[in-house]
Structure 1
């Protein structure tokens, strides 16, 4: 860091304090990799602010980034990599399944983690996921909120289409509990790797559903919207946070 004084002008000042390593689980590969650069930029902005504030207190922070892959296996491996690197805490992961798997590794080592995007309701269980924190609300809140939006906008004969991963299933359960399972026109789950939604959308058409609720990521959500249009669906389409892409 550079300092200025009237006597010596601008000079580099050596740092003589402690450097603390913070881990960052970023989904650089996988279904939401498109968001990883933005997550990384935000993390670096925060790091710069922390280091500016910490300099005078003898603290500097170093970020160690690892790829969580939006996948449990990849995230567990990444978590161990961060432990081996000597981090004292971890930011992430983004995807709920990745966070759950990483927590098993990190909590065993006594390392806390705080997620910026994982919303599965189960993560609120402090016994199952010790030393876990998050800065986003649980889908136990988002499910009823989305149901309220559907009701306020006059959505009827709702077809629920959702990913069956940890994010999608948890969110879908919360929405279904609020809406009522018997009140759904159809409930259609699909693997997050699905790319052909012809048969899934056909169920919406065959059941004469009047509106669709999507619990998906942006890419699969866009594919579903396109297939709904192709098959002549003209009802309302609602979505949660995972499909909140500007292009949609």
Structure 2
């Protein structure tokens, strides 16, 4: 697999984009939240009963991401509790549904989770959905930690220092995808855009990157969550006769694509993290051959060992086999980081845990590298500072809870309508 190095010229060299992102994020506010029990330092002989909730998409237009994300949380919980006799910390997880901005499952689920006295809530996957309840969560002194939010709105959001994410801002994915489309020789681009903070934000950065490379966006129709017909938007795109089309959507893409098959070359279609899926037999063989897409995170090929273990564990818990793995590693890492921060704080209070999250991610710059919960916990309980490098990447939070390092995977569909790493 080739490596794409981010530079001002925006050249795409293929496969994985490894980018340092701290320069792209503005200084902003992030901070405090609460639950129970507090002390100044971790105590190996003490007991910490940590409880977190999840507001991940069991329903709605990102429901296909729910299983890998919940699997990541559950897998991390099992490893945390496997060594609870040594660490003194046990983790309880209350699972909930974020839904989306159409079905609004979060309106009943978030109060239910907060009523369980959780210290943190992992979710939502959708940036637009997270923005519907972030004030409610951080206002209760509880951490909101998303494995998948990419909207740049969160970087400067007034969140009481209680919002964190293991996915990078759309500034990065937009730059990588816009450059990829240009490097493929396309001079004009059409965008089909979900009208929420994720869709419009990502469209903005794709446009900026593509136009900086000399291209022109010739059409960018939008649609709203809950829409079921897209004829007008597709007609507008095709009438503009673009060289390429980027689909900035969620699961609605399954309804959109059949109208493009035969009307637009598959190899000139581009996907994003919200809709890049292993479609397989959902569409006729060869329907997507040559189409490309991006999503943040370590390459699924490089995560082969983790995804095998994740799937085996998930199935052993009585669930169906996973068909998608997007954001599973980020959900796993989010759970591990919350537990490590709780250990470092010697507390299950949300505000105190949040105050340690940057430190245990390596953001303080003076920690000892470790890659498993058990090893990091041993460092903390020995009086040291742990610097957790996760399955999804180094993470390393800045002062606003954004990761300062990230990878953007570039993928391409084959004849079987399944994607694999793009070799360039």
Q: TM class by shorter-chain length?
A: 0.7 to 0.9
Query: As a proportion of its length, which structure holds more helix?
Result: 1
Is the CA contact 1:159–1:211 (under 8 Å) kept in the aligned structure 2?
Answer: yes
Residue 174 of structure 2 is aligned with which of 128, 143, 146?
143
Deviation track 1:40-95 (CA, whole Å, cap 9, x = no partner) reads 22211010111123331221110011111133843254222222101111211111
Which residue of 1 is the match for residue 152 of structure 2? Answer: 121
1:240 matched residue in structure 2: 272
Determine helix, strand or coil for the equivalent of 1:243.
Answer: coil
1:133 aligns with 2:164: yes
- The 2-side partners of 1:128 and 1:21 are apart by 21
Aligned 1:52-201 pairs, distance under 5 A:
52-71=82-101, 73-127=104-158, 130-180=161-211, 183-201=216-234
Q: TM-score, normalised by structure 2?
A: 0.51
Tell me the matched-pair count: 231
Q: In 2, Cα distance between the equivalents of 1:106 and 1:115?
A: 12
Contact 1:76 1:98 in 2 (8 A): no
Does the CA-based 8 Å contact 2:50-2:91 persist in structure 1?
A: yes
Q: Deviations over 1:21-48 (max 9, x none)?
A: 1111121111122332232222110101
Mapped to 2, the partners of 1:223 and 1:74 lie a distance apart of: 23
Provide, for residues 128-170 of structure 1, a one-character-per-residue CA deviation record: whole Å limited to 9, x for no partner.
Answer: 5741110011101111111011011112310011110222122
Contact 2:181–2:210 (CA<8 Å) still a contact in 1?
no
**Structure-to-structure mapping, 1:192-231, within 5 angstroms:** 192-217=225-250, 219-230=251-262
Pair 1:132–1:95, CA change in 2 (3 A): same
CA change 1:58–1:130 in 2 (3 A) is closer
Which structure is higher in RCO with an 8 Å CA cutoff and minimum separation 6? 2
CA distance in 1, matches of 2:229, 2:100: 21
RMSD, matched Cα:
2.2
Which residue of structure 2 aligns with residue 9 of structure 1?
A: none
For residues 130 and 173 of structure 1, what CA distance do their matches in structure 2 show? 27
Using the size of structure 1 for normalisation, the TM-score is 0.85
Greater alpha carbon shift after TM alignment, 189-198 vs 116-125:
189-198
Structure 1 spans left out of the alignment, 5+ residues: 1-15
- Alpha carbons 1:104, 1:129 under 8 Å: kept: no
Structure (1 or 2) with the larger CA radius of gyration: 1
Quickly say closer, same or farther: Cα 1:108–1:168, change in 2 above 3 A: same
Q: Distance in 1 between matches of 2:187 and 2:106?
A: 39
CA distance in 1, matches of 2:234, 2:194: 14
